[in-house]
Structure 1
């Protein structure tokens, strides 16, 4: 005899069946339940068939459908969103935990198409690595959060990961500002917490002699024979040309690696490189090109000294890529981490401070010594001389920045290899 159809729209169970447990001990009672949208199998156990049936009936009295897994959320650019944006609340109230408030704020940030993909990913990463990582702090109610609570949390972050403390405070300030706007929280307590000092690092720049010493070390690394037939490392001259292009331009490493063939004009009376974007690494996207540099003042056109022209020209000839000037052997964009890894392997002990960013500071220092801070500010694409002075040594123009003769005179040295 066929079983009666299970109802739709009301929760009711079908026929109960029992069978011995596969372990050989006790019995299992089983039935099907229709929640109106899906049929579920519900089971219970007992030492006898009757006991298992009774346990199942008791279970059915309070049974509710299991929560369905949500479809993976995605941002405006298709980037996958994780648990850090998973919340059921729509506003911050007196009973909202700090963790849920952060998730709500992240959900709004992640859905904002006017924010850059990199910015949205940045805030999700900060949340994962600070507030959402601390279960005790994120469980606090927003309405009961004090400036002292927040200050102690930020201090704990600073002790373990100093670079995250300022970011955590900035994020909490924005989250609490949203909470205040929702009406139930009267004051943004993060405004009452002490600011986290950036901590001034000593600026280390290469002297002219150190620059040529580093170039020689890279050449030695590149020419070191490895593999069958003694093939040289870096046959495409990628790292050596990246180094000389960094010294010739002062670009951020991802601005340089993000240059495309159409961004270069090497055949004009004054060869140029135009910065229109940058490479970014985003969760779920990998390395991708962002159609905007780090800052508005970062969009600039630089006249190139001969050293930079030679490096760019060789890459265009060796790689023949339509996408980027610098590419891997498969034509993919180059990761800054690969460049940094080679620097660590090749640099002599006396120059163990050298990273790709060192060349940016070095260009600023060279230009400052040879000309003025204004030239360095324009070359690096900073918005003010104060930034250049404080962090790189250290807008002057939005036209073509021409320090090519000055840089060539600084960098000029017989090239070997």
Structure 2
């Protein structure tokens, strides 16, 4: 019967022998490269020689403190993966988002050992939380790390159920306000900007001006709020705005300008219509720092204040209550797509054409007037048809 092959990073039978007249113990082992080698230790007695040999073998195969084992917990795995992931220098906003998802994962699975992370267990966890792509991305990457460390044989994320798709009744085609609705909302914004707050102090907020620039560009909220005067060229024959940054919040809630936009398609230079030029010329004369839309203290406007307080309060009680800044992007996309084409609309928004069609461009309620074409085709095919 053939002798069983020693596995990599394991050793075979320990033998007691005499080596140069001394008690000794030896064994064969295979190193991490798969090479078969012999190791020997001597002592004044065979038990001591055998003990010395076992200590030497233990040193050969000892794992570093960072290595994972099947008995390591998910919390330990996530901590190790997190440090490795941070070393790749992800975007600050991504770190903020992933940190909250990481806490949910540790809360729900943290004490589970890796050998206990079966597909059913991980699947139940994902179904128990309002899962997002971030939950799945973190778990897939972390379990992948465990597989690479030899602590898991398979990545359970490969077999968990897909994210539940929205029911057809829950999917809404893009609904965009038309230019008349935008004009009415701008009037509401103007009244709110010039109104008084709960203390009786005039607000003097830039909501109307923001709305005009949003409608002039179709840019994202935080792209407009991140604009500086270096991004605006009002002296050109055709004034332009360059979208090349966005506002983000760091892990401490501080608002920062990120010197690149959301996606590769987002960086773009847009021609400005005259109504936007007039707004920017006035704001340029009144400006006191580099920001186009500073807050009352000269800093960046916080997204939460802008969307949840200013915008919401300005439209509260009107027929436009519930409209959000993203709907202005839809209005721009729909208008440009209908007057030009979807590809041009996507370039205006800084999206791909697929994304623009799926999320921003409202489908036409009426079909085209193809009556003449259809009549001609029918008469050509059936020239002698009689009609009553």
* TM-score, shorter chain, exceeding 0.5: yes
CA spacing shift, 1:165–1:285, aligned 2, 3 Å: closer
Aligned partner of 2:327 in structure 1 is 358
Pair 1:289-2:260 in alignment: no
For the residues of structure 2 that align with 1:167 and 1:118, how far apart are their CA atoms?
A: 12
Aligned partner of 2:301 in structure 1 is 334
Equivalent pairs, count: 293
Aligned partner of 1:253 in structure 2 is 221
Compute the RMSD of aligned alpha carbons.
Answer: 2.1
For the residues of structure 2 that align with 1:388 and 1:102, how far apart are their CA atoms?
A: 36
2:178 to 201, 207, 232: 207
- Contact kept, 8 Å, 1:97 with 1:138, in 2: the verdict is yes
For the residues of structure 2 that align with 1:89 and 1:355, how far apart are their CA atoms?
A: 51
Aligned partner of 1:272 in structure 2 is 240
For the residues of structure 2 that align with 1:266 and 1:343, how far apart are their CA atoms?
A: 27
Pair 1:122-2:97 in alignment: yes
Post-superposition CA distance 1:309-364 (Å, at most 9, x none): 22222222223212x21101221011122221111111143212211222112211
Aligned partner of 2:112 in structure 1 is 140
- Contact kept, 8 Å, 1:99 with 1:138, in 2: the verdict is yes
For the residues of structure 1 that align with 2:196 and 2:71, how far apart are their CA atoms?
A: 66
Query: Rg larger in 1 or in 2?
Result: 2
SS of 2:162's partner is coil
Pair 1:99-2:75 in alignment: yes
Pair 1:369-2:338 in alignment: yes
- Unaligned runs of at least 5 residues, structure 1: 1-87, 159-163, 395-417
CA spacing shift, 1:89–1:155, aligned 2, 3 Å: farther
The normalised TM-score by structure 2 is 0.71
SS of 1:268's partner is coil
SS of 1:350's partner is coil
- Contact kept, 8 Å, 1:97 with 1:141, in 2: the verdict is yes
- Unaligned runs of at least 5 residues, structure 2: 1-63, 363-388
The normalised TM-score by structure 1 is 0.66
List aligned pairs for 1:9-408, cutoff 5 A.
90-113=66-89, 115-128=90-103, 130-134=104-108, 137-158=109-130, 164-197=131-164, 199=166, 200-225=171-196, 232-234=202-204, 237-284=205-252, 286-322=254-290, 324-340=291-307, 341-347=309-315, 348-382=317-351, 384-393=352-361
- Contact kept, 8 Å, 1:89 with 1:100, in 2: the verdict is no
For the residues of structure 1 that align with 2:124 and 2:198, how far apart are their CA atoms?
A: 54
SS of 1:179's partner is helix
SS of 1:279's partner is strand
